[in-house]
Amino acid sequence: MQNMTVLPLVDAIFAITSAPENAVICTREPFSWGAESVIAQYTEDFRVPKDVQLKGFKYFLGKEDVVDLLDKIAAKRASRETQAEFVAHYAMFDAYPYWFDDLQER
């Protein structure tokens, strides 16, 4: 059983950047920046641990994907919440949100 600290998704998105490489964010739906989330470790066969699933958390994104997305939006002027919403949108739709190109460059 993993130690599960529940965080708002916005905090989990930024916290996972310092987590081990096999870390994954699991979130309760709907995926929005305030959704309850945990950072877990993939099992040996790269699955979300059963105890995390049983608590109602679903796969959101792995560390590598989150870091890549945060790097992408880092070139834009965006609040922490906007950055989290960008990551959440990508997790849900596998595409950047329509408003991404409207954000000003840094």
Per residue in 35-49, pLDDT (tens digit) is: 999 999 999 999 999
What secondary structure, in 3-state letters, does 17-71 show?
HHCCCCEEEEECCCCCCCCEEEEEECCCCCCCCHHHHHCCCEEEEEHHHHHHHHH
DSSP state of 101: G
Give the model's confidence band at 2: pLDDT under 50 very low, under 70 low, under 90 confident, else very high. low
Question: What number of other Cβ atoms are within 10 A of residue 5's Cβ?
Answer: 11
pTM of the model: 0.90
What value does the mean pLDDT take over residues 5-21? 94
pLDDT of residue 27: 95
Confidence of residue 101 (pLDDT cuts 50, 70, 90): very high
